[in-house]
Amino acid sequence: MSVRLILLLSHALFALGVYGVLTRRHAIGLLLSIELILNAAALNFVLFSRAFGHVEAQAFALFIIALAACEAVVGLAIVIGLARHAHTVFADQVDLLKG
């Protein structure tokens, strides 16, 4: 597998994540899309670590996995709070911050 191919894969993942974030209405779908974006970044770190022989970048990948886990916890908590208070899990139905 060449570097170019894997780079293409990570870009595709990122693009998919951005598309999902912009189009998904369901809050959990949003969280999943963010997960995709984060993993695209992690894949890039691992790829460039292999390609240029830097070990530090792999540490960043580990950080990103931990971060993603935390993010999922907080995000899911928010989703549950949303479901309890607003009785919905659709992001576009909640516009308390409308000016």
Compute how many residues bind other proteins; rule: CB under 8 A: 14
C-alpha closest to that of 8 among 43, 54, 59: 43
Pick 65 or 81: Cβ nearer other proteins = 81
Helix (H) or strand (E) holding 11, with range, is helix 3-23
CA distances from 65 to 52, 85, 88 (A): 22, 30, 29
The length of the chain is: 99
Q: Which of residues 37-96 bind other proteins (CB under 8 A)?
A: 91-92, 94-96
Min dist CB 94 to other proteins, Å, is 7
Min dist CB 25 to other proteins, Å, is 8
Query: Using CB under 8 A as the criterion, what x/- string covers residues 21-40 for binding other proteins?
Result: xxx-x----x----------
